[in-house]
Chains A and B, each alone.
Chain A
Amino acid sequence: MGRTLAEKVWDDHVVRRAEGEPDLLFIDLHLLHEVTSPQAFDGLRMSGRTVRRTDLTIATEDHNTPTLDIDKPIADPVSRTQLETLRKNCAEFGVRLHPLGDVEQGVVHVVGPQLGLTQPGTTVVCGDSHTSTHGAFGALAFGIGTSQVEHVLATQTLPLAPFRTMAITVDGELPAGVTAKDLILAVIARIGTGGGQGYVIEYRGSAIEKLSMEARMTVCNMSIEAGARAGMIAPDRTTFDYLEGRPNAPVGADWDAALEYWKTLRTDDDAVFDHEVRIDANTLTPFVTWGTNPGQGAPLSSAVPDPASYADPSDRLAAEKALEYMGLSAGQPLREIAVDTVFVGSCTNGRIEDLRSAAAVLKGRKVADGVRMLVVPGSVRVALQAVEEGLDKVFTAAGAEWRHAGCSMCLGMNPDQLAPGERSASTSNRNFEGRQGKGGRTHLVSPQVAAATAVTGTLSAPADLSDVPVLTEV
């Protein structure tokens, strides 16, 4: 019987397979950041171990970093200590680091791909659940805890429990104004936050094949919000074109050999998935969340659901609690929900295409009175590209704040936070209680919906701005 893409990549990385033991897998790329690594380096020091493969390890600073005044000392002493700890650890153990102020600094999941480090058929790990992003290249990529970070630093391997395979096939054409973000939010609403538990998801079908690398990263990024171990998309011409010429992409004979291998990375026709889901792209519309987990979402054209409509008692209770926290009532049209803040950025939607699509909606328009809009590029490289294209001017002319690169308000570890009771339309990935600041309320949206919402002050799609032509991004 044939094998799926995920099974092929897994098999190619087995270091040791023994009866009654989990497979021991080799890790091709280990990404580090300041938050989940200090205790791992401490562990190495305490046991007298070293980093086995510094040439497969790279670090950047993203979660804690400020997005204003980055040339000044970091005001929060605890954040400063954590960043200094990463710098000290990387120096001591010989790990390449791109710190705040460096041209390659940025959100770890934006940095890996743009350097050309994330490649098809590789295993990629990071102490961050959104490592699933890298699956867009046909890599097997997953988030790990700090104990596993230490394990990979010391051994460049991980013992891993077997997984199940799921195919999510999206055929058809995404309608104009519907993006990869709307697609993945619709997928999560359909299968639930636990629907992917134990699975590696492969996204396939004609609508997926048409997506750009940026859009594919948005889809794979949020696989974890469906509870999946990882998300993957088979590499193709789009993938190879994105990689060719990037700083750490293979060159010469290595490029030819890599390409030959990458072309084998497709699910065999006779392979069988443990579970299959089919979605018709033509039926999708702009999608937003109304609740406090990413599965609590609905089409923007609909209304806040009535908790009583849920058959499952725990879903009903969850919806009740979510509406209470979000300050919403059943039946309220989603388009009438007013926001205080709009956030464009994060590992989900902080890449150049995301900024372009938000800027295209904002161009010649103004952010509504009383609304604060933050635009935070995913990396310094993304910021430089945006400046070259004049996107920063579009944002500032509209009244938005153009910030420095980092995770920023996606999780509010730096000063970019919502105040209690404040409501945001956010292009990030989690609408958990307090995620963007204690008491803050988050609606997850696409970059286009974020920009349109900034203009009207209530959740809106670009099509709601009558004189703005509908975009055909993706």
Chain B
Amino acid sequence: MEAFTTHTGRAVPLRRGNVDTDQIIPAHWLKKVTRNGFEDGLFEAWRKDEGFVLNAPERKGATVLVAGPDFGTGSSREHAVWALQNYGFKTVISARFADIFRGNSLKNGLLTVVLPQETVEALWALTEADPAAEITVDLVAREVRAEGVTAPFELDDNARWRLLEGLDDISLTLANEADIAAYEARRPSFKPSTARV
């Protein structure tokens, strides 16, 4: 996984709540069998509207997405995270994320930052008024900084450590392989097996 320490970049203010993963990446894109090449599918339907914020020339190269509450609801498709990353986003800020999307993002090094809606509103106001305004997301200090905004955010120590180091979850788990084997040894025989009967 790509490590995340601190990132500074321009933002895309997305004034929508309940942005579901079908909007982030529509289902027909999910037929691909790779983790890359999803950038053109990101918000595909909304991008057909010329007035959509992502289409504005001054938002080109922006890396911080500031979205309404309940971002990433619906389908568990990790393709939504890959699409955001393939497009160039490094971090997403929202007042609330759907659980599965949040888990997927942190496993891929896309930092999802939960801030109060008032702070999201302040970041929208700032970046709408000045598209060149930059936002810094500092995972070391667990703080978001922009002109007129200094906002601490929470992320548990373990998740933060894995992101800062860019650690691979599977390797971490396999370091405790003996625990898994011990559990398997005491697991009851009546538990289901997929063996054909």
- Residue A435 interfacial (CB < 8 Å): yes
Contact yes or no, A433 B170, CB < 8 A: no
A225-B18 Cα distance, complex, nearest whole Å: 11
Task: With a 10 A CB-CB cut-off, give which of A78, A85, A117, A147 has the most chain B CB atoms.
Answer: A147
Contact yes or no, B76 A36, CB < 8 A: yes
Expressed in whole angstroms, the minimum distance between the Cβ of B33 and any Cβ of chain A is 4
Contact yes or no, B197 A145, CB < 8 A: no
Contact yes or no, A146 B194, CB < 8 A: no
Contact yes or no, B73 A147, CB < 8 A: no
- Residue A20 interfacial (CB < 8 Å): yes
> Which residue in chain A gives the minimum CB-CB distance to B108?
A147
Expressed in whole angstroms, the minimum distance between the Cβ of B170 and any Cβ of chain A is 5
A92-B73 Cα distance, complex, nearest whole Å: 34
Contact yes or no, B100 A194, CB < 8 A: no
Interface residues in B20-34 by Cβ distance below 8 A to A read 20, 22-23, 26-28, 30-34
Which residues of chain B come closer than 8 Å to A157, judged between CB atoms? 173, 180
Task: With a 10 A CB-CB cut-off, give which of A39, A64, A82, A145 has the most chain B CB atoms.
Answer: A145
Expressed in whole angstroms, the minimum distance between the Cβ of A415 and any Cβ of chain B is 11
Q: Which of B4-12, B126-134, B142-150, B182-190 contacts A (4 or more CB under 8 A)?
A: B182-190
> Which residue in chain A gives the minimum CB-CB distance to B171?
A47
- Residue A277 interfacial (CB < 8 Å): no
A188-B40 Cα distance, complex, nearest whole Å: 33
Contact yes or no, B22 A434, CB < 8 A: yes
Contact yes or no, B27 A26, CB < 8 A: no
Contact yes or no, B73 A293, CB < 8 A: yes
- Residue A197 interfacial (CB < 8 Å): yes
Which residues of chain B come closer than 8 Å to A286, judged between CB atoms? none
- Residue A81 interfacial (CB < 8 Å): yes
Write the B107-136 contact mask toward A (1 if CB under 8 angstroms, else 0). 110000000010000000000000000000
- Residue A236 interfacial (CB < 8 Å): no
A212-B157 Cα distance, complex, nearest whole Å: 44
Which residues of chain B come closer than 8 Å to A39, judged between CB atoms? 33-35, 78
- Residue B50 interfacial (CB < 8 Å): no
Which residues of chain A come closer than 8 Å to B158, judged between CB atoms? 20-22
Write the A86-111 contact mask toward B (1 if CB under 8 angstroms, else 0). 00000000001000000000000000
Contact yes or no, B27 A412, CB < 8 A: yes
A194-B96 Cα distance, complex, nearest whole Å: 8
Contact yes or no, B33 A81, CB < 8 A: yes
Contact yes or no, B170 A151, CB < 8 A: yes
- Residue A270 interfacial (CB < 8 Å): no
Contact yes or no, B197 A248, CB < 8 A: yes
Contact yes or no, A433 B22, CB < 8 A: yes
Contact yes or no, A147 B107, CB < 8 A: yes
Expressed in whole angstroms, the minimum distance between the Cβ of B181 and any Cβ of chain A is 10
Task: With a 10 A CB-CB cut-off, give which of B31, B183, B189 has the most chain A CB atoms.
Answer: B31
> Which residue in chain B gives the minimum CB-CB distance to A162?
B156
Contact yes or no, B76 A16, CB < 8 A: no
Known pairs A15-B180, A57-B194, A248-B194; A144 contacts B100 (CB<8 A): yes
Which residues of chain B come closer than 8 Å to A96, judged between CB atoms? 194-196
Interface residues in A24-43 by Cβ distance below 8 A to B read 24, 26, 28-29, 35-36, 38-39, 42
A397-B71 Cα distance, complex, nearest whole Å: 44
Which residues of chain B come closer than 8 Å to A148, judged between CB atoms? 103-104, 107
Known pairs A38-B33, A85-B33, A119-B192; A147 contacts B78 (CB<8 A): yes
Contact yes or no, B180 A26, CB < 8 A: yes
Contact yes or no, A430 B22, CB < 8 A: yes
- Residue A385 interfacial (CB < 8 Å): no
> Which residue in chain B gives the minimum CB-CB distance to A129?
B76
A159-B172 Cα distance, complex, nearest whole Å: 10
- Residue A227 interfacial (CB < 8 Å): yes
A81-B30 Cα distance, complex, nearest whole Å: 12
A250-B191 Cα distance, complex, nearest whole Å: 8
Which residues of chain B come closer than 8 Å to A247, judged between CB atoms? 197
- Residue A463 interfacial (CB < 8 Å): no
- Residue B81 interfacial (CB < 8 Å): yes
Could you say which of B17, B22, B157 contacts A318, with CB atoms under 8 Å apart? Answer: B17
- Residue A396 interfacial (CB < 8 Å): no
Could you say which of A49, A57, A227, A435 contacts B99, with CB atoms under 8 Å apart? Answer: A227
- Residue A150 interfacial (CB < 8 Å): yes
A143-B21 Cα distance, complex, nearest whole Å: 14
- Residue A155 interfacial (CB < 8 Å): yes
A47-B173 Cα distance, complex, nearest whole Å: 14
Expressed in whole angstroms, the minimum distance between the Cβ of A307 and any Cβ of chain B is 13
- Residue B70 interfacial (CB < 8 Å): yes
Contact yes or no, B99 A229, CB < 8 A: yes
Could you say which of B81, B179, B184, B192 contacts A16, with CB atoms under 8 Å apart? Answer: B179
A78-B180 Cα distance, complex, nearest whole Å: 38
Which residues of chain A come closer than 8 Å to B183, judged between CB atoms? 15, 26
Known pairs A20-B158, A257-B188; A413 contacts B27 (CB<8 A): yes
- Residue B47 interfacial (CB < 8 Å): no
A63-B30 Cα distance, complex, nearest whole Å: 10
Expressed in whole angstroms, the minimum distance between the Cβ of B105 and any Cβ of chain A is 9
Expressed in whole angstroms, the minimum distance between the Cβ of A414 and any Cβ of chain B is 10
- Residue A421 interfacial (CB < 8 Å): no
Known pairs A248-B193, A250-B190; A193 contacts B73 (CB<8 A): yes
Pairs A-B, 6 closest by C-beta atoms: A145-B104, A38-B33, A145-B78, A258-B190, A143-B76, A254-B190
Q: Beyond the given A142-B100, A147-B104, A413-B31, could you list 17 further A-B residue pairs with CB under 8 A, ordered by the A residue number? A: A20-B158, A22-B158, A24-B173, A57-B194, A58-B194, A117-B192, A145-B81, A145-B104, A148-B107, A194-B18, A255-B190, A318-B17, A413-B28, A413-B30, A430-B75, A432-B23, A433-B45
6 contacts between A and B (CB under 8 A): A42-B34, A42-B35, A143-B100, A411-B75, A413-B27, A438-B45
Query: A residues engaging B (CB < 8 A)?
Result: 15-16, 20-22, 24, 26, 28-29, 35-36, 38-39, 42, 47, 49, 52, 54-58, 63-64, 76, 78-79, 81-82, 85, 96, 116-119, 122, 127-129, 142-148, 150-151, 154-157, 159, 161, 193-194, 197-198, 224-225, 227, 229, 247-248, 250, 254-255, 257-258, 261, 293, 314, 317-318, 321, 411-413, 430, 432-435, 438-439
